[in-house]
Amino acid sequence: MKPIYLDYAAATYIDPRVLKKMVPYLKGNFGNPSSLHLIGRNTKTAIEGARSVIAGILNVEPSEIIFTGSGTESDNLAIFGVAKAYKSFGNHIIVSKIEHKAVFEAAKKLGKEGFEITYLDVDSKGLIKLSEFKKILRKDTILVSIMYANNEIGAVQPITKISKIIRNFRKKHNSIFPIFHTDACQAAGALDLKINKLETDLMTLNSSKIYGPKGIGCLYKAEKIKLEPLIVGGGQENGMRAGTENTALIVGFAEALKLAEKLRVKESRRLKKLRDYFIKRILKEISNSRLNGHLIKRLPNNVNVSIGGVEGESLMLMLDREGIFASTGSACTSESLEPSHVLLAIGLLSEMAHCSLRFTLGRKTTKSDIDRVLKILPKIVYKLRKISSIKR
Amino acid sequence: MKKKDKIIKGDVVPDDKYKEESWVYSEIVKDHFFNPRNVLLDDTYYKADGIGVAGSPACGDMMTVWIKIDSKTQKIKECKWRTFGCASAIASTSMMSVMVTENGGMDVKKAMHLKPQQILERLGGLPDRKFHCSVLGDIALREAIDNYFQK
């Protein structure tokens, strides 16, 4: 029985083409990019090449790309970096209620340190309310962080519209604030990443969601933006992130993003079809099930449903036994024992948040995979509902 | 070499990996989760001597327990249940139902004092953070016994 992996939003396998590019820097080219001799220069060249590739995809200058250790680190660098660098200009920060924990927890921490944080509401589909956003912008708002696409429910935010509102606000107040950051980790490979279109000042990307290696991410930082680094030392990455660069990971990341961008339009179209087919059949064939998130403004690979009366972890583990790998926003899989903050933010009752199940599709997903899940899932739901104490 | 080729080919899950030993729960929990004992699938015609409920759907775990008690011996003859919740909630209710009915049934007075730790021990342990939220079987059982005495 072939295992069916449907958790691509959690992690992707490394594309063999990516791995191939990485191998020389794991095996032979070991030099420290900061060394001025040939051995060092070899790795320096590779890193700068990778930086140019990523900059090209974003349509920005290579010097505006900072390599970091993960998407989380990039998010942290953006949030803490801006807050600390511009502290004297304002005390107010806006983040959406459905940010990834890497942004959410960073903002919360700043809140404890004396910053004023406004958590921007989303509607029942997970989209931010632009009119409300306009209202909460203040002269002392130094930073806005709103994710491009949500990792749990796949909701895609209108980043260009948000940018426009921010631009107008800046013009009106003749200010450089607020600075705008977006977490685009889930958007890469699915949505347009061009900064001249999105017009954000900062953008987080990482490699492990786009068939690249884990442990590497980057932050796009517009030239004019100042940041206080999180890690100091040898001054690498323009003084923004000290530590000897991991050449293999950087090269792998660039190659992964290049491939993801190349395949983006075609693969997104294919996945959207599969996604819609999957959603339609679940909602039709499983009673008391609902889709979480927006039907259209969602990532091409994201299916997030709540199935009434059946707890998510139980469902996930029963699927696991059948060789189907999914995830859940149920409290039982989180350390905090709280159900997903994203599902609660879209107004789901705790009861239904505990019953959520997320499938995220990827390059290896086929229609026959989906059909097999659709054969097994209703049986598992039936079994769990039979032993469930909730009326169904 | 063959193994290496397989990974390089980009297989999502290499066949030789991901065996069962990495499960977060013990073998006993797993067994009771996949093969729950004493479930009452339909309570329409079930004549229980006592019914108890614990937990709530909002918390993510909720269970109902039905018991039958031998009025002469004051021992639990049957303990049936249904649970909404995660694997450990399902397994712990299942184990509780076994514990109070095995060896001719547990004395009602003794069952009143069944501790969640005793269920935990029989399950071969649970992850710490799971223990307090999902082992509610003893509470539902106490409710059912109270209900029996009130009748």
Provide the annotated active-site residues of A. 332
Q: What structural domains does chain B harbor?
A: 24-150 (3.90.1010.10)
The CA distance from A75 to A162, in Å, is: 18
Work out the percent of chain A whose per-residue pLDDT is above 90. 95
Question: What pLDDT does A334 receive?
Answer: 62
A354 touches chain B (CB under 8 A): yes
Mark yes or no for CB contact A386/B90 under 8 Å: no
Choose the closest CB to A13 out of B12, B36, B83. Answer: B12
Query: Chain-wide mean pLDDT for chain A?
Result: 96
Rounded mean pLDDT of A79-92? 98
Beta bridge partners of A182: A203
Mutate to test the interface with A, among B9, B84, B129, B141 (most CBs of A within 10 A): B84
Q: Give the model's pLDDT for residue B4.
A: 44
| ipTM of the complex in this document | 0.85
What confidence tens digit (pLDDT) does each residue in B30-87 have?
Answer: 999 999 999 999 999 999 999 999 998 888 899 999 999 999 999 999 999 999 998 9
Q: Catalytic annotation on B86? A: no
Nearest residue of chain B to residue A329 (CA atoms): B60
Q: For residues A332-345, give the mean pLDDT.
A: 80
List, for residues A276-289, the tens digit of each pLDDT value: 999 999 999 999 99
Sheet with B75-84, strands from edge to edge, namely B50-56, B61-70, B75-84
Predicted pLDDT of residue B8: 46
What pLDDT is stored for residue B135 in this prediction? 81
Can you say whether residue A231 is alpha, beta or left, with left for phi > 0 and alpha for psi between -120 and 50 degrees?
Answer: beta
The pLDDT of A335-361, averaged and rounded, is 90
pLDDT of residue B3: 44
Please give the C-alpha separations between residue A323 and each of A14, A313, A357, A369, A372, in angstroms, as whole numbers: 20, 15, 16, 11, 11
Contact criterion met (CB < 8 Å) for A350 and B87: no
- CB-closest option in A321, A337, A351 to B58: A351
How many other CB atoms sit within 10 Å of the CB of residue A114?
A: 8
Q: Is the peptide bond before A24 cis (omega within 30 degrees of 0)?
A: no
Q: Measure CB to CB from residue B63 to each of A3, A337, A389 and give the nearest one.
A: A389
Going along chain A from its start, the domains and CATH numbers come out as 4-12+264-387 (3.90.1150.10), 16-259 (3.40.640.10)
pTM for the full predicted model: 0.92
Provide the token pair at A230: 């999180």
Given B59, B104, B115, B132, which residue is catalytic? Answer: B59
CA B142 to chain centre: 15
Residue type, A254: A
Average pLDDT along chain B: 86
Q: In the predicted model, what is the mean pLDDT of residues A237-254?
A: 97
pLDDT of residue B128: 79
Q: What are phi and psi of A131, to 5 degrees?
A: -65, -40
Q: How large a percentage of chain B has pLDDT more than 70?
A: 83
CA nearest neighbour of A201 among A183, A225, A185:
A225
Nearest Cα neighbor of B108 from B47, B149, B136 is: B149
Regarding beta strands A116-120 and A302-307, do their DSSP bridges make them parallel or antiparallel, or are they unpaired?
unpaired
A205-243 pLDDT, tens per residue? Answer: 999 999 999 999 999 999 999 999 999 999 999 999 999
User: A386 — contact with chain B (CB < 8 Å)?
Assistant: yes
pLDDT band at B5 (very low <50, low <70, confident <90, very high): very low
B10 touches A at CB < 8 Å: yes
Six-digit token pair at B124?
A: 């071969």
Decide if pLDDT at A106 tops 70. Answer: yes
Vertex B129, ends B126 and B135: CA angle to 5°?
A: 60
